[in-house]
Amino acid sequence: MKRLKWIIPLILAIGILAYFIVIKPQLDTKNIEFTYTSLKKGNIESIVSSTGTLEAINTVEIGTQISGTIKKIYVDYNEKVKAGQLLAEMDLKLLKTNLISAQANLAVSKAQLNQAKEEYDRSKILFEKGVIAQQEFSNIKYTYEQATGTNKAAAANVNNIQVTMQFARITSPISGTITERSVEEGQTVAASFATPRMFIIAEDLSKMQILADVDESDIGYVHNKMKVRFSVQTYPEKEFLGVVSQIRLQPIQVNNVVNYQVVVNVDNTDGLLLPGMTTNLEFITQKANNVFLINNSALRFRPNELMLKNLKPVLEEKAKKNLPDSIYQKFTKAINNDETYIPTRFKKGLPSSIDGFFYKNTNGNISFKFIEIGIKTGLQSQIKRFYDGSEVSEGIKAINGIKSKK
């Protein structure tokens, strides 16, 4: 009797344990119902996102090479100008005074030169006749040469002031639009060490460019002549298009992340886009129209551990029949490894171009279909083909979730 007292509880404990380990999971599996997503046809794009700033393709900074006071300004913001057009004038009072002084010095030096030349010519004749000594003639010759140099310096100084006076007229080197004016009439500017900026002229605002920073992890997908879609905050509902014209190889660090600057050419014939606007860009790296698509929720579906254990023979059979031998070997090795054959990692042995989804076959049993993946985005993936050779068609249902019956 004493032995029965502990044998009966032991049998009950074993029975309860067996129920929770073996019987209850089997019952739970039967009580599971699935949610589905259907294959459909549509268009798909793979994109790289970035931000950038609109700029005119060719801009020129206009400054002054002389210091002084601005006498007159003839243009303002947004004004269209032509090459050679007068933009502003500097006050010439001080330069005119300097010119008069320089011309007076030139006249004095010219008189001194004439006197020195007469003296030199006379002394040369006397020296040739032996009337004067070599030393005396040399001194007269030196005085003449010195007067010649002084006269040339005075003439150069006059010419320099005259050229400088021409710089007092600030003209436009190109035809374009005034996008910035940094000075006012009466303002004094100093050009001692750097040229003061007075205007910025954009050559042609009907053609603009975007300077976009692309992360180093994405720059490999971007190439010249790639189409770009972008928007600006002013017109959030409007879509603009551009084309990549240059990928600059100089790395730029932004928040400790390496970026590369990409130049995108934009047509702005309608004049809606303005310099300095912030743009949100989408570089279209891949695009396919009217292809079969599957929702990524089906590819991310993970059966529970018991289902995965029961489905292992199905996965092995399908892999052996449908996959290339090298991929089959790698995949079966992975699913026969206890560390990798778990719900979150059971596809580890597949390359990125191959995926698969679970579905219910005509017998009502869960099966698996290996697929070749094309373009993949965050929501959908392109199905190129089924590896079992069956036809891809709309309406095929793939399991994308489970829920317990109430």
- Sign of the four-CA dihedral 19, 20, 21, 27: positive
Q: Which of 24-28, 142-146, 324-328 has the lowest mean pLDDT?
A: 24-28
CA–CA separation, 378 vs 24, rounded Å? 37
- Sign of the four-CA dihedral 281, 285, 291, 292: negative
232 with 247, same domain?
Answer: yes
Only one residue has tokens 């130049």, namely: 263
**pLDDT tens digit string along 327-342?**
999 999 999 988 889 9
pLDDT bin (cut points 50, 70, 90) of residue 193 is low
139 with 155, same domain?
Answer: yes
CA–CA separation, 86 vs 341, rounded Å? 79
314 with 395, same domain?
Answer: yes
DSSP result, 291-313 = EEEEEHHHHH----HHHHHHHHH
Q: Are 22 and 375 in contact (CB under 8 A)?
A: no
pLDDT bin (cut points 50, 70, 90) of residue 129 is confident
Res 15 pLDDT > 90: no
170 with 70, same domain?
Answer: yes
Alpha carbons within 13 A on the beta-carbon side of 245:
12
Asked whether residue 96 is assigned to any structural domain, the reply reads yes
Helix axes 325-335, 305-322, angle to 10 degrees: 160
24 with 37, same domain?
Answer: no
Asked whether residue 170 is assigned to any structural domain, the reply reads yes
Q: Are 64 and 137 in contact (CB under 8 A)?
A: no
Asked whether residue 196 is assigned to any structural domain, the reply reads no
Amino acid identity, position 13: A
317 with 352, same domain?
Answer: yes
**pLDDT tens digit string along 212-249?**
999 999 999 999 999 999 999 999 899 999 999 999 99
* Pairing state between β 68-73 and 207-215: unpaired
pLDDT bin (cut points 50, 70, 90) of residue 22 is very low
CA–CA separation, 148 vs 119, rounded Å? 13
pLDDT bin (cut points 50, 70, 90) of residue 39 is very high
Instruction: Write down which residue in 188, 219, 239 finishes a domain.
Output: 188
Dihedral pair phi/psi, residue 273, rounded to 5°: -90, 135
303 with 273, same domain?
Answer: no
Asked whether residue 258 is assigned to any structural domain, the reply reads yes
pLDDT bin (cut points 50, 70, 90) of residue 26 is very low
113 with 184, same domain?
Answer: yes
The torsion defined by the Cα of 240, 241, 242 and 243, in degrees rounded to 10, comes to 170
Instruction: Write down which residue in 239, 269, 289 finishes a domain.
Output: 289
**pLDDT tens digit string along 242-301?**
999 999 999 998 888 999 999 999 999 998 999 999 999 999 999 999 999 999 999 999
160 with 90, same domain?
Answer: yes
CATH code assigned at 100 = 1.10.287.470
Better-predicted residue by pLDDT, 405 or 60: 60
278 with 324, same domain?
Answer: no
Q: Are 95 and 161 in contact (CB under 8 A)?
A: yes
pLDDT at position 27, please? 41
CATH code assigned at 216 = 2.40.30.170
Query: Average pLDDT, stretch 28-44?
Result: 82
Asked whether residue 399 is assigned to any structural domain, the reply reads yes
Calculate the alpha carbon distances from 103 to 154, 155, 156, 173, 224 in Å.
Answer: 8, 8, 10, 31, 60
Asked whether residue 197 is assigned to any structural domain, the reply reads no
Res 1 pLDDT > 90: no
Tell me how many domains the chain contains. Answer: 4
Res 19 pLDDT > 70: no
Helix axes 93-128, 134-166, angle to 10 degrees: 160
73 with 183, same domain?
Answer: yes
Alpha carbons within 13 A on the beta-carbon side of 181:
18
168 with 234, same domain?
Answer: no
* Residue 327 belongs to domain spanning: 33-43+292-404
**pLDDT tens digit string along 370-384?**
999 999 998 999 999
CA–CA separation, 211 vs 272, rounded Å? 18
Res 87 pLDDT > 60: yes
Asked whether residue 194 is assigned to any structural domain, the reply reads no
pLDDT at position 321, please? 93
Instruction: Write down which residue in 268, 289, 310 finishes a domain.
Output: 289
Q: Over the Cα atoms of the chain, what is R_g?
A: 43
Res 8 pLDDT > 80: no
pLDDT at position 28, please? 46
pLDDT at position 23, please? 44
Burial, 110: exposed, middle or buried (Cβ in 10 Å; 0-12, 13-18, 19+)?
middle
Asked whether residue 250 is assigned to any structural domain, the reply reads yes
Instruction: State whether residue 247 is helix, strand or coil.
Output: strand
Provide the whole-model pTM.
0.68
